[in-house]
Structure 1
C-alpha cells in the first residue's frame, strides 16, 4: 500500500513589510502557500499611481510577488527597481508598480492581473488580492471623529476605536472578496495573521464582510503573530492581549486560536526612533489577558535586531509555524 501525504495549506494574510518576511521563509517548506494581500494602502508610489489610474495600490502585492518568485535575483531586482531620475512622472516609482498597474488595465481588474503576473514571475504559491477593487480604510477614533485613508489615519496619532472598509468606486455596496479568497480560508489547515500594522495592514482584510465570516467558520487554526513594538498613531501602550482583543472584537468572536509572542527584550537605547518613526515601545506581555480570550500562547525569542530597529526573525517564526503544522499532520495521512 502506498501512502500519500497531504500537503498542508497555509494562508497568510496581511500587508506591509511583515508579510514578505514570513512568505520568504515559508517558501522553502513543503506547504501549499496562499497570500491574501490588503488592497487598502494609499501611501507612497502606490498612492500616487492610484491617484492617476483607478487601480488597487500595487506596492504590497509587488513585494509579495517578489517574496514567492523563483526567478533570478537580477529580474527581481529589476522588478523592485525604484526610479531615482528627476523625471516628474517616473521619479520614486517602483517598476513593478507600473507593471501591476498596466496588467490591471489589460485584465480589467487586479485579481486576474495578479494571477497573470504570478505565472510570469514563476510564483511558488497563490497570491490573492483581498478584493478585486480599490478599498478605502475608514477609522473612528475614541473622541468620536472619523477619517478615511490609511496614511491620514496613522498620521492623526489618535486612539483608534474601530476600522472598516468601503469601496473606492461603489460607496453604497459593501466590498466582497472573490470566491478564491473565501475558498482558500475555508480549505486552509493554518491561517496566519501578521506580523504587521494591526489597524492598517491586518484588519482591512478581515473587515471585508465575507472574509470575516469565513474566518469565523473555518476549521483551520488561526494564528496571530503579535507585533514586537507598538506603533505610533495605532497601538501605543498596547499589550499583546490588547492586540488580540481588537482583532476578536472586530470579528465579533474569539477567532484567534494561537498567538506567537516575542519575549526577548529589545535592548535599551538600541532603537533609532528617528529612522523607525512608527515604532513606539516594546509590546508588553499579558499572559492572563491572552488566556482569558481562549488563546494558546507560544512565547519565545522571535526577535531580529538590525539597522537599529526591532523586527521578527522570519526563520524562527516559520519554524514555529511548521511545528504547529507538525502537531496536526497525522490528521492528513491517507492510504490508497
Structure 2
C-alpha cells in the first residue's frame, strides 16, 4: 500500500531562490508531492556574501531556508538552525547558525556543497531533495542596455539600470555545470516550477547553467512560471507578466514556458510598507495577449496574500493550482486558458 502511494506522488522540481521558494515548497509538502528543489548558488549578499568572501564556499542562505522548509525536525531544532545572531554580537553579527553549519560541512574533507547538503538533508530529515544548482560558487554577471557590465548579484540589483541579459561564471574559470543528479531530476519530473522570485537574480542564474537550461528545455514535463506580483527595483521596473516570460524565453532562445500563474487581485492602495519592502515598486501589469502570443496557457486568479504590510503569494492557493496541473503533458499547450 505504501509503495502504491509513493508511485503516484507527482515529481515536481522547483527551481529558484529567495524568499518565495520556501513558501511553495512548504505547500507542496502538505500535498505529498515528491519534491526536488534546485537552488541558486549565485547569491553574494548578507550573511551568505560575507561567508563567501571569507570561505571559498557556495553562499548558503537560500539553501538554508529550503532545508528548513522541507525538514521534519522538531520546531525547536529548526528554530535553532534558522537563528540569526543579533547585530550587537560583533563577531557573529547577522550570521544565521544554519549558514555556518553548511559552510563547515562543505569545508570538511573538501566534500563540496552538493555532498554537504545531502548529508545535512539526512540529519534534518528532509522530505524531498535539495540540490544546489552547482557544486561551485558562481558569479552572476549582467549586461545593461547602456552597454555597461556589472558582476555580483547585490551590485546588479543596486545598479538601478535596465538589464539586457545575464550569465554566470565560476571563479576558477571552469564551465558552470550542475551535478548529474540535478539534470536527472529535471528530465524525470512531471512538472517544473520556476519562481516565485527575482527574475534576473534568483531564477535565471539557475537556467544560465548550460546543462540546467538544456534539461529544462528537453524535459517532457510541463514548465510552470509563477509570475511575481510586484515589479522589482533595479530588475523589472514597469514589467508586465508577458515581459517576465519574454525575458525567460529570450535567455533560453526558445518559448519553453508552458503555463503562467498570474495574480489579478489588486494590491490595496497604500497597504505596502515602502520602507520595509523598498525593492518593490508597482504591481505587475496583466498582458494576456502578450502571454498567449508566446504560446503560454494562462491561469489567473487571486493569488495575493497580505501580511505585515507586505505583498506575498498565497502559497496554498498557488500549490492547489500546481497540483491540478501536475503530470499533464506538453501536448495540450496553449489549447485552453483560465
Distance across 1 between alignment mates of 2:326 and 2:94: 41
Residues 86 and 310 of structure 1, relative CA distance in 2, 3 Å threshold: closer
Distance across 2 between alignment mates of 1:8 and 1:50: 35
> Unaligned 5+ residue runs, structure 2?
330-338
Query: What displacement does 1:157 show?
Result: 0.8
RMSD: 1.2
* Cα distance per residue 1:106-144 (max 9 Å; x no partner): 152000000000000000000000000000000000000
Q: Which residue number in structure 1 is paired with residue 217 of structure 2?
A: 216
Shifted more, 181-190 versus 77-86: the winner is: 77-86
Query: What displacement does 1:46 show?
Result: 0.5
Q: Which residue number in structure 1 is paired with residue 267 of structure 2?
A: 266
Q: Which residue number in structure 1 is paired with residue 294 of structure 2?
A: 293
Distance across 2 between alignment mates of 1:252 and 1:93: 39
Distance across 2 between alignment mates of 1:134 and 1:162: 20
Query: What displacement does 1:7 show?
Result: 2.1
CA contact (8 A) 2:192 2:223 kept: yes
Across the two proteins, how many residue pairs are aligned to each other?
Answer: 324
Name which of 147, 150, 161 aligns with 1:144.
147
Distance across 1 between alignment mates of 2:145 and 2:217: 26
Distance across 2 between alignment mates of 1:50 and 1:89: 16
* Cα distance per residue 1:2-56 (max 9 Å; x no partner): x944321000000000000000111111221000000000000010111110000
CA contact (8 A) 1:107 1:113 kept: no
Residues 301 and 85 of structure 1, relative CA distance in 2, 3 Å threshold: closer
Distance across 1 between alignment mates of 2:326 and 2:220: 14
Q: Give every structure 1 segment of 4 or more consecutive aligned residues whose post-TM-superposition deviation is greater than 4 Å.
A: none
Name which of 155, 162, 170 aligns with 1:159.
162
Q: For residue 99 of structure 1, give the secondary structure of its aligned residue in structure 2.
A: helix
Aligned pairs for 1:13-92 (under 5 A) are: 13-84=15-86, 86-92=88-94
CA contact (8 A) 2:36 2:128 kept: yes
Q: Which residue number in structure 1 is paired with residue 104 of structure 2?
A: 102
CA contact (8 A) 1:11 1:192 kept: yes
Query: What displacement does 1:216 show?
Result: 1.2
> Unaligned 5+ residue runs, structure 1?
329-336
Aligned pairs for 1:107-256 (under 5 A) are: 107-108=109-110, 109-168=112-171, 170-171=172-173, 173-256=174-257
Residues 91 and 322 of structure 1, relative CA distance in 2, 3 Å threshold: same
Distance across 2 between alignment mates of 1:164 and 1:85: 34
TM-score (norm 2): 0.94
Distance across 2 between alignment mates of 1:325 and 1:264: 24
Query: What displacement does 1:327 show?
Result: 5.5
Distance across 2 between alignment mates of 1:156 and 1:207: 21
Q: Which residue number in structure 2 is paired with residue 332 of structure 1?
A: none
Query: What displacement does 1:292 show?
Result: 0.3
CA contact (8 A) 2:222 2:327 kept: no
Q: For residue 278 of structure 2, give the secondary structure of its aligned residue in structure 1.
A: coil
TM-score (norm 1): 0.94
* Cα distance per residue 1:257-295 (max 9 Å; x no partner): 000000001011111111100000000000000000000
Residues 107 and 323 of structure 1, relative CA distance in 2, 3 Å threshold: farther
CA contact (8 A) 2:190 2:327 kept: no
* Cα distance per residue 1:161-196 (max 9 Å; x no partner): 00000002x22x220100000000000000000000
